[in-house]
Amino acid sequence: TLSDRLSATFKNLRSKGRLSEADIDATIREIRRALLDADVAVPVVREFAGTVRERALSAEVSQALNPAQQVVSIVHEELIAILGGQQRPLHLAKNPPTVVLLAGLQGAGKTTLAGKLARHLREEGHTPLLVAADLQRPNAVTQLQVVGERAGVPVFAPHPGASDDGTVPEEGRRWWERSKKADPVAVARDGVEEARAKQYDVVIVDTAGRLGVDAEMMQQAADIRDAVHPDETLFVVDAMIGQDAVTTAQAFSDGVGFTGVVLSKLDGDARGGAALSVASVTGRPILYASTGEKLTDFEVFHPDRMASRILDMGDVMTLIEQAQKAWDAEQAEQMAGKLAAGEDFTLEDFLVQMQQLRQMGSMKKMLGMLPGMGQMRDAIENFDEREVDRIEAIVRSMTPTERRTPKIINGSRRARIARGSGTTTTEVNQLLERFAGAQKMMKQMAKGAGMPVPGMGNL
Ligand code: GDP
Ligand code: MG
């Protein structure tokens, strides 16, 4: 998969120190191949690779991130940019009802999405109305009615049929009297009128699709658009259709035009190739994602999360950013200077690191969300805040000379330090061992191996 490929690439990067131009190019080649394998459209891949390469070559050297992390960071940022940057909420009309038109190929997931969106909006306090303007397939209306019932949202439909007690629903009768003929454009128009009359604040118009793009269908969608003046036209696209996503999106963009995209079937193997292609080629934001057949399998689309998903890093970038913040730049610079001058990383430096780790309090919770971060998660799970206090007490009980030159801490000094800090000699020993490990790590960092996180090795 795309994420496996990228992970492998980044693993190679991680084991290196500084990146040369050749390194960057090799990495870009991998990223290119990985994206193509994920069915991202060729021109999109080309443009993306170009941007990342340019930025990687001219990247300022960051104190807190090693070169590999910088490339990851650039790839991540560029993915977010293509995916639209910020999360884009549904634009609501100043004068309700807000009209949302759904367009897309047959089987793309429009009707399913209509129910999910209606439910979502209802939960947000809106009063949506669903409109069944797909009269192409015999069961299309019934399908929307079933979905509407599950969502607890009323459906305006042309063919009400008689219910069990033989009555005909009001909205159906109204349409029937006015139109006498199953015309999807009229149904859509009447549906919006109905919403206005009964003060529903959002109308979601479900439309027909064909298996392939064709002129007649496109015209029908355009006619409905002209009849209802949608505030949002959402193009629903199956995330698993790969390269075809681009041609389909282009056809709908030209034929009907749309203001936003919904990715459906993002629960399958789809790893985001279609998302990248559609967003990049049409320049339209992705508003929602459909992730299964159940009504609740629905997500507000977050570009940053999708970018992470594509990289399969969970929220690892957030983690890096947090670490970057906690690691005060000035201190990092001082440290780098000291290390370069051949001075040793001291116990006091170690204490400062531990205190910084404590500041990253939200890490524990954050790590709980990360996939594939087992080792690091364990390290943090086991990180006991009281331990920082203990370490602080121990270090404070040492003489300045001991702090600078821990080698001189013999048995009797250990006993004295333990007494002074209210700990045991075992705990003093443990601290000295951990410190020795951290010191080794700092020396590696001085050689450019990566950003150390106290007690955890390199990120
Ligand atoms: P429409 O023709 O565009 O209205 O598409 P439908 O909403 O009828 O969906 C077509 C098929 O795809 C149905 O069998 C749905 O159950 C299924 N489907 C829709 N959305 C999703 C999704 O997000 N995940 C999965 N796994 N199936 C979906
Ligand atoms: Mg449908």
Tell me which DSSP letter residue 91 carries. P
CA distance 121 to 91: 12
> What percent of the chain has pLDDT above 70?
69
Confidence at residue 339, expressed as pLDDT on a 0 to 100 scale = 64
SS3 of residue 256 by DSSP: coil
CATH of domain 316-458: 1.10.260.30
H helix intervals, 327-452: 329-340, 347-359, 363-367, 374-381, 385-396, 400-404, 411-421, 425-446
Nearest 5°: phi and psi at 443? -65, -40
Of residues 182 and 371, more confidence is placed in: 182
Mean pLDDT, residues 363-374 taken together: 45
Question: How does DSSP classify residue 284?
Answer: P
pLDDT at 16: 55
Nearest-ligand number for the alpha carbon of 263: 1
Binned at pLDDT 50, 70 and 90, residue 438 comes out as confident
Ligand with smallest separation from the Cα of 210: 1
Q: Is position 195 annotated in a ligand binding site?
A: no
Looking at the predicted structure, is the pLDDT value of residue 158 above 60? yes
- Give the pLDDT confidence score for residue 181 in this predicted structure: 52
Q: Known binder of ligand: residue 264?
A: yes
Of the pLDDT bands very low, low, confident and very high (cuts 50, 70, 90), residue 39 is confident
Of 164 and 87, more confident = 87
Give the Å distance between the CA of 118 and the centre of ligand 2. Answer: 15
- Looking at residue 62, what is its pLDDT? 58
Q: Say how many Å lie between the CA of residue 144 and the centre of ligand 1.
A: 12
3-state secondary structure of 302: coil
DSSP bridge pairs for 103? 235
User: What's the whole-number mean pLDDT along residues 428-435?
Assistant: 90
| Mean model confidence pLDDT for the chain | 78
- Helix, strand, coil distribution of the chain in percent, nearest 5: 55, 10, 35
Residue 274 marked in a binding site: no
Residues with CB under 6 A from ligand 1: 104, 106-112, 209, 264-265, 267, 290-293, 297
The rounded Å distance from CA 384 to ligand 1 centre is 47
Tokens of 168: 């005909």
Give the up-direction half-sphere exposure of residue 347: CA atoms within 13 A in the CB hemisphere.
Answer: 25
Report how far residue 276's alpha carbon sits from residue 41's, in angstroms, rounded to the nearest whole number. Answer: 8
Strand bridging mode 298-300 / 286-290: antiparallel
pLDDT of 95 strictly over 90: yes
How many Cα neighbours within 13 Å face the side chain of 301?
29
Residue 108 assigned ligand-binding role? yes
How far is the centre of ligand 1, averaged over its atoms, from the C-alpha of 242 (Å)? Answer: 16
> Mutate which of 293, 294, 297, 299 to test ligand 1's pocket (most atoms within 8 Å of Cβ)?
293
Ligand nearest to the CA of 107: 1
Q: Using the atom order of ligand 1, give the atom closest to the CA of residue 105.
A: 3
Which protein residue has the closest C-alpha to ligand 1 atom 10?
107
Q: Would you call 264 helix, strand, or coil by DSSP? A: strand
104 annotated ligand binder = yes
Confidence band, pLDDT 50/70/90 cuts, at residue 153: very high
Q: Is 283 labeled as ligand-binding?
A: no
By C-alpha distance, which of 127, 119, 121, 169 is closest to 149? 119
Above 60 in pLDDT, residue 276?
Answer: yes
Q: Check residue 195 and give left, alpha or beta (phi > 0: left; psi -120 to 50: alpha).
A: alpha
Q: How confident is the model at residue 448 (pLDDT cuts 50, 70, 90)?
A: low
What is the rounded distance in angstroms from the CA atom of residue 104 to the CA atom of residue 123?
25
Model ipTM value: 0.99
pLDDT digits (tens, 9 = 90+) for 282-333: 999 999 999 898 999 999 998 988 887 777 654 444 444 444 454 455 566 6
Atom of ligand 1 nearest to the CA of 236: 3
- For residue 113, which atom of ligand 1 is closest to its CA? 7
Residue 412 has pLDDT above 80, yes or no: yes
Assess whether pLDDT exceeds 50 at residue 334: yes
Q: Residue 346 annotated as binding?
A: no
CA distance 285 to 84: 5
Average pLDDT over residues 217-223: 92
**Ligand 1: which atom is nearest the Cα of residue 106?**
2
Half-sphere exposure of 130 (CA within 13 A, CB side): 34
- The alpha carbon of 280 and the centre of ligand 1 are apart by a number of angstroms equal to 24
Q: Tell me the per-residue pLDDT of 229-240, one tens digit each, with 9 for 90 and over.
A: 999 999 999 988
218 or 172, greater pLDDT = 218
pLDDT value, residue 439? 79
pLDDT at 255 over 90: yes
For residue 308, what are its two tokens? 């992470």
Q: What's residue 367's pLDDT?
A: 47
Strand order in the sheet with 155-156: 155-156, 128-133, 202-207, 98-103, 232-238, 260-264, 286-290, 298-300
Give the whole-angstrom CA distance, residue 255 versus residue 221.
8
CATH code: domain 2-82 is 1.20.120.140
Q: Residue 71 pLDDT > 80, yes or no?
A: no
Q: 446 versus 120: which is more confidently predicted?
A: 120
Domain positions in the chain: 2-82, 98-299, 316-458
Q: Does domain 98-299 have CATH number 3.60.15.30?
A: no
Ligand 1 atom index nearest CA of 268: 26
Ligand 1 centre and the CA of 107: distance in Å?
6
Closest atom of ligand 1 to CA, residue 137 = 2
Query: Nearest ligand, CA of residue 141?
Result: 2
